[in-house]
Each structure stands twice: as C-alpha cells, then as structure tokens.
Amino acid sequence: MMQRMQGQGKLGAYQTNGGDAWDPEPGENVLYLGAAEGATASWMCKQLDGTIVAVEKSPVAGLSLLRSARELDHLIPYIGDARNTGSYAPFVPSLGFVYQDIAQRDQVDIFVKNVERFSPRRAFLAVKARSIAVERDPKSVFEDAREAVEEAGRVVDVVSLDPFHKDHAMIVVDTVGE
Ligand SMILES: C[S@@+](CC[C@H](N)C(=O)[O-])C[C@H]1O[C@@H](n2cnc3c(N)ncnc32)[C@H](O)[C@@H]1O
C-alpha cells in the first residue's frame, strides 16, 4: 500500500500547493541530492521503510547529516558532489525516487545526470529559478527546466512553491517505460 503523507520542506510546499505525485510504496528507496543538515532527509527516513541515500556537498552541513544518520539505520549519508554520480553509485540501491534540492546554476544538468544514471521510478526536482538566472522571469526559467528534464523522463507535474519558497517550482518526472 502507498505510504502517503504530508511532507516537510519543499516537498511539503509542493503538496500544500496541490502536488500529489509523492506516492512511495513500502520498501522503495530514495536518492536525496542536496540533503544539507538532513532535516528533510531525516523526516523522510522516519516516514519510509526504504533506504535513503543522502548526498551533500558541504562538509559543514555534512557533519550534522552524519550525526542525524547515526540515529537512523536506513539513512546513508554521503559527503560529496552530486555531479560525481560514480563516486556514490556503489551505495545506491535500486530506486523508487530521486529527490533533488540543490541551488546551483547547473541544477537541471545534475538532476538529468542522476536520473539517467540511477533510473528511479519517479524523480522530483525543486528548481530555484534565481540560482539559474537571477535576471530572468522565473516562469521562463521553469519552462526551460521543464523542457530540459524531458531528456530524463516524462514530466508529470510542475507546481509553483510560492509563497512558501519564493521563485521555486517542483518538477516531477516519471521514467518508467522511458
Ligand atoms: C536548499 S539546501 C537543501 C535543504 C534540504 N534539502 C532540506 O530540506 O533540509 C541545498 C543544499 O545543496 C547542497 N549542494 C549544493 N551543490 C551541491 C552539489 N553539487 N552536490 C551536493 N550537494 C550540493 C548545499 O550545500 C546545500 O546544503
């Protein structure tokens, strides 16, 4: 049976704004990119019985992530760059989901690379428009991002995260049958 629950962070904003594509089945595993200190990744871990592999680039944030992981046996922290998929590939099990929350100019490329490499059933990209192009209308940045992620799968949802996260949107992609 599907484990439907109200999320926190950007996932919670996505759901509050009407997104309903977060539908984990028991035992499904998640690759979480941009875990920071692990707030949302730990929450996810408490809700799900699958493994969460949490990748975070900053060693400072990563320290807190490592501490959180000590208390959660199915949270696997990895301190490294989500661009280097090969470095953490040995720790990534078969996936239900990729969930990415990385505020970088190349965030869409990072997402496509990970989705193509790990072939999850479904993938969530929290896009921060201002990290991609500060001067552009966020709507046109989201449109470009939507087009670019089609390389990785079929877009099933695009939801603005305003007013909870200004100039952010969640793009959801399905890969089954791709
Ligand atoms: C907005 S924060 C994530 C917040 C977190 N998802 C939460 O809800 O608790 C973005 C994080 O992405 C990390 N990050 C940035 N570039 C990265 C990269 N190339 N690989 C992995 N993590 C990265 C940053 O260090 C930062 O901690």
Q: In this predicted model, what pLDDT tens digit does every residue of 34-59 receive, in sequence order?
A: 999 999 999 999 889 999 999 999 99
Answer yes or no: is pLDDT of 68 > 70.
yes
Does residue 39's CB lie within 6 angstroms of at least one atom of ligand 1?
yes
- Residue 69 CA to residue 76 CA, distance in Å, equals 7
* pLDDT of 5 over the 60 cut: no
pLDDT at 1: 45
Percent of the chain with pLDDT over 90: 87
Cβ 82 under 6 angstroms from ligand 1: yes
Q: Please determine, looking at this structure, whether the domain spanning 9-174 carries the CATH number 2.40.50.140.
A: no
Q: Is the pLDDT of residue 111 over 50?
A: yes
Ligand 1: which atom is nearest the Cα of residue 39? Answer: 9
Domain boundaries, the chain: 9-174
CA 160 to centroid of ligand 1, rounded, Å: 19
How would residue 8 be classed by pLDDT, with cut points 50, 70 and 90? confident
List CB contacts of 159: < 8 A, sequence separation 6 or more: 14, 17, 18, 19, 169, 170
Collapse the DSSP code of 121 into the 3-class scheme (helix H, G, I; strand E, B; otherwise coil) and give the result.
coil
pLDDT at 160 over 50: yes
How far is ligand 1, taken at its centre, from the CA of residue 153, in Å? 23
Q: Is 84 in the pocket of ligand 1 (CB under 6 A)?
A: no
C-beta of residue 75 within 8 angstroms of C-beta of residue 45: yes
What single DSSP character describes residue 26?
A: T
Question: Ligand 1 centre from 112 Cα, in Å?
Answer: 16
In angstroms, the CA 166 to CA 173 distance is 22
CA–centroid distance, residue 156 to ligand 1 (Å): 24
Q: Whose CA is nearest to atom 25 of ligand 1?
A: 58
Confidence of residue 7 (pLDDT cuts 50, 70, 90): low
